[in-house]
Amino acid sequence: MFHRTLDPFPKDFLWGAASAAYQVEGAWDSDGKGPSIWDAYSQIKGNTFEETDGKVAVDHYNRYKEDVKLMKEMGLKAYRFSVAWSRILPKGEGEVNEKGLEFYENLIDELLENDIEPVLTLYHWDLPQALQDRYKGWESRQTADAFVEYCRVLFERFGKKVHYWITMNEQNVFIPLGYRWAGHPPAITDLKRMYAANHIVNLANAKAVKLFHELVPTGMIGPSFGYGPMYSYSCDPEDVLAADNGDMFNNRFWLDVYCKGKYPKFMLKQLEKNDLAFEITSEDKKTLAQGKPDFLGINYYHGGTAKQNHFETGKRSDKSFSKVDPYLMQAEKNETAPEEMMFENSSNPYLKKTEWGWEIDPVGFRITLRRVQAEYDLPVFVTENGLGAFDELIDGQVIHDPYRIDYLKKHLLEMQKAITDGVEVIGYCAWSFTDLLSWLNGYKKRYGFVYVDRNNQEEKELARIPKDSFYWYKKVIETNGTSLQEEE
């Protein structure tokens, strides 16, 4: 669809940036905080990149005022952050830690005083270790109940101050990485257990949404999903069918549950045939049906390309995906994996890649937004999008990151085209505001608008230094996006 002119961004568009507790806060055991599964997992040698952990991270816990001041200087309209569950309930359930609540209350107040809308994520992967030990984490329905009680504490305390809430961050990433690929805690490699745990998270999500609607009727809540559009490798109908399977496997298996309250039938049947079915009680069906969100959070990095699977063609065609990519859950050489019968991943000859091997695909962003709008018809909040790169600090004072500006600009223009097409996008949070700890890549892979002067080995002074992209985004916000076209 070609537009001679693009619609302006909505007047109250939420220009934002994002972070997650474990990746920025540090203060891992301060003021009564209990350990999370990431605190424990990162202490085992070999689990993380160069043994990096979140003990100090970028010390946002102690420097949040300085960080909010920079947000204000940038003109940010929204800041997405997550709450560390084990700061609020050190054992995951039971006694509430007032000091933990105070920290988030202070942060929220600081944001509001500076006219920045807080966007609160309830779960960004840092499950309290106590729940892992006591209930086997997300493998137990008791963890779902504990999650709902944790949410209740936050809804009651912050329901009047925070309008936008995110339930689960990228369930489609933390579940496979935690229970299938052993790349995240609890580092399990068991497909059957993975699908069962995933169902429990779906229940937790739906129950939290339902409770939110009862306690905070004026607010808005939704999950943040890591969406990757699936392309067909060719116009061979067999490849088109494969891409449809890929979309069902990677996207609709989660999004249908969130937005339509039930699993896609084809996928359930596929799991049954592979002896991977999980228990869904009639009570569960009711619960899922009651968890419809108010908006859909979309995290967009890249999509994938599918061709007919090798069982049908009788040969393996493309070996380019040798590693596990969290956005393309493709089993490698594991012929019992359900997706092996459905499609085969291929690299896309039209797309370049980042320094970290992720495809760069701004048009895919527009496709993403249009597809989710067409299928689920909810307002969309882009809760993550950004470029991970090596940044160089020059003379201790400047960081020139034209590659990041180019990446963001292309994505924002495609988002504006999607808005012009008719997608209702309410906000956009770039990943990330400051540099932060990458779960599996330490401090080498940077995403921030603000450089944080530390590396994997040394914390140094943790000085904050705005990058060129900081000033560029500031102008985008100031002009409500019109500068995006002027700069051409």
Residues that bind ligand BG6 (CB under 6 A): 20, 23, 169-170, 173, 226, 299, 384, 388, 431, 438-441, 445
Least distance (Å) between residue 19 CB and ligand BG6 = 8
Set 339, 359, 384, 414: catalytic member? 384
Residue facing ligand BG6 at closest CB distance: 438
Q: Shortest CA distance to 163 belongs to which of 14, 25, 299?
A: 14
Least distance (Å) between residue 326 CB and ligand BG6 = 6
Q: Which residues pair with residue 429 across a beta bridge?
A: 16
- The answer to whether 92 and 130 have CB atoms below 8 angstroms apart is yes
Q: In this complex, which beta carbon is closest to ligand BG6, that of residue 169 or of residue 373?
A: 169
Least distance (Å) between residue 269 CB and ligand BG6 = 29
Least distance (Å) between residue 54 CB and ligand BG6 = 11
Q: In this complex, which beta carbon is closest to ligand BG6, that of residue 436 or of residue 484?
A: 436
Q: In this complex, which beta carbon is closest to ligand BG6, that of residue 80 or of residue 207?
A: 80
Sorted by sequence, the CB contacts under 8 Å of residue 451 that are 6+ apart come out as: 391, 393, 399, 434, 435, 464, 465, 466, 467
- Helix/strand/coil percentages in the chain, nearest 5: 45, 15, 40
Q: Which residues pair with residue 220 across a beta bridge?
A: 164
Least distance (Å) between residue 436 CB and ligand BG6 = 7
Label residue 53 left, alpha or beta by phi (over 0 means left) and psi (-120 to 50 means alpha). Answer: beta
Exposure class string for 294-325: b at 16+ Cβ within 10 A, else e: bbbbbbbbbbbbbbbbeeeeeeeeeeebeebb
Q: Please provide the DSSP assignment of 160-194 as one string.
A: TT--EEEEEE-HHHHHHHHHTS-SSTT----HHHH
Q: Shortest CA distance to 284 belongs to which of 201, 224, 168?
A: 201
Q: In this complex, which beta carbon is closest to ligand BG6, that of residue 9 or of residue 439?
A: 439
Q: In this complex, which beta carbon is closest to ligand BG6, that of residue 110 or of residue 170?
A: 170
Burial class of residue 389, CB neighbours in 10 A (0-12, 13-18, 19+): middle
Least distance (Å) between residue 456 CB and ligand BG6 = 13
Query: How many whole angstroms separate alpha carbon 86 and alpha carbon 103?
Result: 13
Helix (H, G, I), strand (E, B) or coil at 349: coil
Helix (H, G, I), strand (E, B) or coil at 146: helix
Reply yes or no on whether 238 is catalytic: no
How far apart, in Å, are the Cα atoms of 9 and each of 366, 380, 405, 425, 469?
Answer: 15, 14, 19, 9, 20
Amino acid found at 398: V
Least distance (Å) between residue 282 CB and ligand BG6 = 33
Reply yes or no on whether 170 is catalytic: yes
Q: In this complex, which beta carbon is closest to ligand BG6, that of residue 223 or of residue 481?
A: 223
Q: In this complex, which beta carbon is closest to ligand BG6, that of residue 245 or of residue 432?
A: 432
Query: How many whole angstroms separate alpha carbon 443 and alpha carbon 17?
Result: 18
Set 170, 340, 359, 414: catalytic member? 170
- The answer to whether 422 and 406 have CB atoms below 8 angstroms apart is no
Sorted by sequence, the CB contacts under 8 Å of residue 23 that are 6+ apart come out as: 54, 57, 432, 436, 437, 438, 439
Q: In this complex, which beta carbon is closest to ligand BG6, that of residue 347 or of residue 441?
A: 441
Sorted by sequence, the CB contacts under 8 Å of residue 185 that are 6+ apart come out as: 37, 38, 40, 41, 127, 132, 178
Least distance (Å) between residue 96 CB and ligand BG6 = 26
Q: How many CA atoms lie within 13 A of 328 on its CB side?
A: 28
φ, ψ for residue 218 (rounded to 5)?
-90, -10
Q: In this complex, which beta carbon is closest to ligand BG6, that of residue 278 or of residue 381?
A: 381
Q: Which residues pair with residue 389 across a beta bridge?
A: 446
Least distance (Å) between residue 440 CB and ligand BG6 = 5
Cis peptide before 234 (omega within 30 of 0): no
Catalytic residues: 170, 384
